[in-house]
Amino acid sequence: MNLLLSLLLILPVVGIVAYLLTPRRYNSADSVATSYDEWTQDGILEFYWGEHIHLGYYGSPPRQKDFRQAKFDFVHEMVRWGGLDSRPPGTTVLDVGCGIGGSSRVLAKDYDFDVTGVTISPGQVARATQLTPKGVSAKFLVDDAMALSFPDESFDVVWSLEAGPHMPDKRVFAQELLRVLKPGGLLVVGDWNQRDDRRRPLNWWEKPVMTQLLDQWSHPKFSSIEGFSELLEETQLVSGGIETTDWSKETLPSWIDSIWQGIVRPKGLVKFGVSGFIKSVREVPTLLLMRLAFGSGLCRFGMFRATRANVNAAQAFSGQRSSSSMPVD
């Protein structure tokens, strides 16, 4: 117990030192792809977080559970909340920002969907393919969510989990998600969001916290739940409006649990050596800031679902990108 307590005290200190002495990341497609390629190649993120590189679902009110199981639970809860559990076997699903394929494999194995996962990282595509057993209907491609290579109306379901913060133009991201969705198809998105600062501007301490969160993990900007809903509506490809909810409380334990993995999985200290240890603990301050942001209401975990209208995408988008005066949020 004394050793664990010592580690709990030491890790943040070491992390802060590494955080201050190593350079920030930059917000570009190349930096995102390179960063994920590096984490995938060295295996550190997978070792601590498992095959699901996203937050876990702990219920409401949150209850204690295994960190990795919470991530599987999140996928099943997102399926239920989004209405995908009523879709038949063989439903075609596009997983935008698939990581190393954790969600895609659950959708394929447990729901018998035909899943295509896309990510900007070639390393993630290679690892996702390697982790996917033969016979599981999930394949993975390198693709840019800002300019998806698929024709209009290609998929029955478009699914995206924690990819939006990396997108430099949220309007284009919203358009692409809906463009490739068939009429009557389902869009289900789960994302990190900032509080809507049009209604309540960020205060003196929130501004530097958001700057650090954006800089450290290659995020150009977080949308607000309200702002991204408006961008989805603006596409004119939505039937019946956008439904949203906030899963901040349900996912909040993930941030401390992710730090705790460095203690309960001590083999990582040996497996990845000194450089791996420094790289890992460097993330501790950002994880703590994330816990602060989501716990205080500065950030929110937004869930979005919508049904695609039977409208031609090219006609709906005509003139939008050039003439829209709405700020990207």
Q: pLDDT tens, 250-305?
A: 999 999 999 999 889 988 888 998 888 888 888 999 999 999 999 999 999 999 99
First to last CA, the chain: 46
What's the CA angle centered on 297, arms 209 and 66, to 5 degrees? Answer: 95
pLDDT at 314: 87
pLDDT at 137: 98
Among the residue ranges 12-21, 123-132, 249-258, 284-293, the one predicted with the least confidence is 12-21
Supply the pTM of this predicted model: 0.91
327 has a pLDDT exceeding 50? no
Helix, strand, or coil (residue 194)? strand
Cα 121 from Cα 40, distance rounded (Å)? 9
pLDDT at 326: 44
76, 106 Cβ separation under 8 angstroms: yes
Among the residue ranges 11-25, 49-63, 99-113, 259-273, the one predicted with the least confidence is 11-25
pLDDT at 259: 94
219, 213 Cβ separation under 8 angstroms: yes
pLDDT at 323: 41
| Helices 206-216 and 284-296: angle between axes, nearest 10 degrees | 130
pLDDT at 32: 82
Among the residue ranges 26-40, 46-60, 101-115, the one predicted with the least confidence is 26-40
Q: pLDDT tens, 196-214?
A: 999 999 999 999 999 999 9
**Structure tokens belonging to residue 20:** 């201050």
Mean pLDDT score of the chain, rounded to an integer? 90
pLDDT at 6: 54
CA neighbor of 324 nearest in space, from 147, 172, 148, 153: 172
Report percent pLDDT > 70 for the chain: 88
Cα 2 from Cα 177, distance rounded (Å)? 50
pLDDT at 260: 94
pLDDT at 286: 94
Amino acid at 169: D
What is the 8-class DSSP label of residue 134?
Answer: T
Q: How many residues does the chain have?
A: 329
- For the chain, list the domains and their CATH numbers: 26-263+300-323 (3.40.50.150)
Mean pLDDT of the 232-257 span? 97
What's the CA angle centered on 297, arms 293 and 298, to 5 degrees? Answer: 50
Cα 138 from Cα 200, distance rounded (Å)? 42
What is the 8-class DSSP label of residue 103?
Answer: H
Q: pLDDT tens, 76-96?
A: 999 999 999 999 999 999 999
